[in-house]
């Protein structure tokens, strides 16, 4: 999604040790400064109701600092206008391998899912190769990995596409997908689990099926990290320690929200921690 170029590295001062110190000094010691989208439920919201907001509150409490947000829609330019600009110090949800940030250790792994009506004949489908999906109309997010799997199985002829990169302040494709599914416009929806799970939880009569049995490329599971500025090694290590010591609390927030958690290889659902 993002690109970290050599020019950016030079502008951030990552080549020389004085530059490195300048980057490291950007981290605020008096507050937990979070870069976030103000209208990206169920992940983040300006009213603090997203599950990433709750994770931020948990970590800030452990650091004994207040949370302070820099709000910006998560579209092209998000990292450049927030984190790189020094206005905030951490992106709570960043895919592992994101090239515009320095990734912490991942704090959860999730996968794409299929959402169906619980009373439909598709309620026990577990893979996209199930013949019952042929001839049915599915909702898909244009450009998402799971759409490639659907196309490979000839499912795109009847598919209804929804936009991927949008400003959630004015558009809500995930909500539109689930509304169309509930109203019978589509028969199933293929979505990213951390978005679909929490939203489907709020819509009676829908079932979320994690696609952990799919094989082939592209992969459907992703490890989610926190993102910091390139060069901020000490801050990364501090966050890694926070994540490790508070993993059970983070998992509890994610499960309560309805996020489907899978193992690190996307093969099975992650077992809940024993009390």
SS (H, E, C) 91-135: EEEEECCCCCCEECCCCEEEEEEEEEECCCCCCCCCCCCCHHHCC
14 pLDDT above the threshold of 70: no
Q: Which residue has the tokens 């599915």?
A: 138
Q: Given pLDDT bands bounded at 50, 70 and 90, which one contains residue 25?
A: confident
d(CA 262, CA 223): 10
Q: Which sequence spans correspond to the domains of the chain?
A: 32-109+221-257, 110-210
Q: What is the pLDDT of residue 180?
A: 97
144-153's contacts with Cβ under 8 Å and 24+ in sequence apart are 144/112, 144/190, 144/192, 145/112, 145/218, 145/219, 145/220, 146/112, 146/190, 146/191, 146/211, 146/220, 147/190, 148/217, 148/218, 149/214, 149/216, 149/218, 149/220, 150/190, 152/216, 153/128, 153/129
Q: Which residue has the tokens 């992940």?
A: 43
Q: Which residues of 224-256 are buried (b: 16+ CB within 10 A; e: fewer)?
A: bbbbbbbbbeebbeebeebbeebeeebbebbbe
The candidate with the shortest Cα–Cα distance to 221, out of 92, 91, 113, 70, is 113
Give the pLDDT confidence of 201-213 residue by residue, as tens digits. 999 999 999 999 9
Neighbours of 121 (CB within 10 A): 11
Contact yes or no for 246/62 (Cβ under 8 A): yes
The candidate with the shortest Cα–Cα distance to 119, out of 207, 200, 178, 193, is 207
Q: What is the pLDDT of residue 13?
A: 35
32-109+221-257 and 110-210: same fold? Answer: yes
As a whole number of angstroms, the longest Cα–Cα distance in the chain is 63
Q: What is the pLDDT of residue 143?
A: 87
Q: What is the pLDDT of residue 266?
A: 95
164 pLDDT above the threshold of 90: no
Average pLDDT, integer, range 60-82: 96
Q: Given pLDDT bands bounded at 50, 70 and 90, which one contains residue 273?
A: confident
Give the pLDDT confidence of 189-233 residue by residue, as tens digits. 999 999 999 999 999 999 999 999 999 999 999 999 999 999 999
d(CA 193, CA 210): 7
Q: Which residues of 74-91 are buried (b: 16+ CB within 10 A; e: fewer)?
A: beeebbeebbbebbbbbb
Q: Which residue has the tokens 């494709």?
A: 173
Average pLDDT, integer, range 123-150: 95
Average pLDDT, integer, range 243-268: 97
- Architecture label for domain 110-210: 3-Layer(aba) Sandwich (3.40)
The candidate with the shortest Cα–Cα distance to 269, out of 259, 131, 19, is 259
The candidate with the shortest Cα–Cα distance to 156, out of 144, 166, 171, is 144
CATH topology of domain 32-109+221-257: D-Maltodextrin-Binding Protein; domain 2 (3.40.190)
The candidate with the shortest Cα–Cα distance to 64, out of 240, 254, 242, is 242
Contact yes or no for 55/92 (Cβ under 8 A): yes
């Amino acid at each position: 999604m993002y690109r970290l170029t050599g020019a950016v590295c030079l502008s951030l001062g990552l080549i020389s040790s004085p530059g490195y110190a300048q980057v490291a000094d950007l981290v605020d010691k008096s507050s937990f400064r979070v870069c976030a989208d103000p209208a990206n439920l169920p992940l983040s919201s300006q009213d603090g109701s997203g599950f990433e907001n709750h994770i931020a509150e948990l970590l800030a409490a452990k650091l004994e600092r207040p949370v302070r947000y820099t709000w910006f829609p998560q579209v092209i330019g998000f990292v450049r206008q927030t984190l790189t600009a020094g206005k905030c110090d951490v992106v709570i949800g960043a895919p592992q391998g994101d090239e515009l940030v320095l990734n912490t250790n991942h704090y959860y792994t999730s996968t794409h899912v299929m959402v169906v009506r619980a009373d439909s004949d598709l309620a026990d489908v577990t893979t996209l190769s199930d013949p019952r999906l042929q001839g049915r109309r599915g909702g898909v997010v244009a450009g998402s990995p799971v759409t490639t799997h659907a196309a490979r199985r000839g499912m795109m002829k009847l598919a209804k596409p929804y936009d991927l990169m949008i400003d959630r302040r004015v558009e809500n494709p995930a909500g539109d997908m689930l509304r169309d599914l509930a109203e019978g416009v589509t028969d199933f929806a293929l979505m990213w689990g951390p978005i679909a799970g929490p939203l489907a939880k709020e819509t009676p009569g829908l079932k979320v099926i994690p696609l952990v049995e799919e094989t082939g490329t592209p992969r459907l599971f992703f490890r989610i990290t926190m993102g910091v500025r390139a060069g901020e090694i000490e801050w990364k290590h501090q966050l890694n320690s926070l994540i490790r010591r508070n993993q059970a609390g983070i998992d509890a927030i994610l499960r309560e929200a309805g996020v489907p958690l899978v193992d690190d290889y996307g093969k099975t659902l992650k077992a809940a921690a024993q009390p």
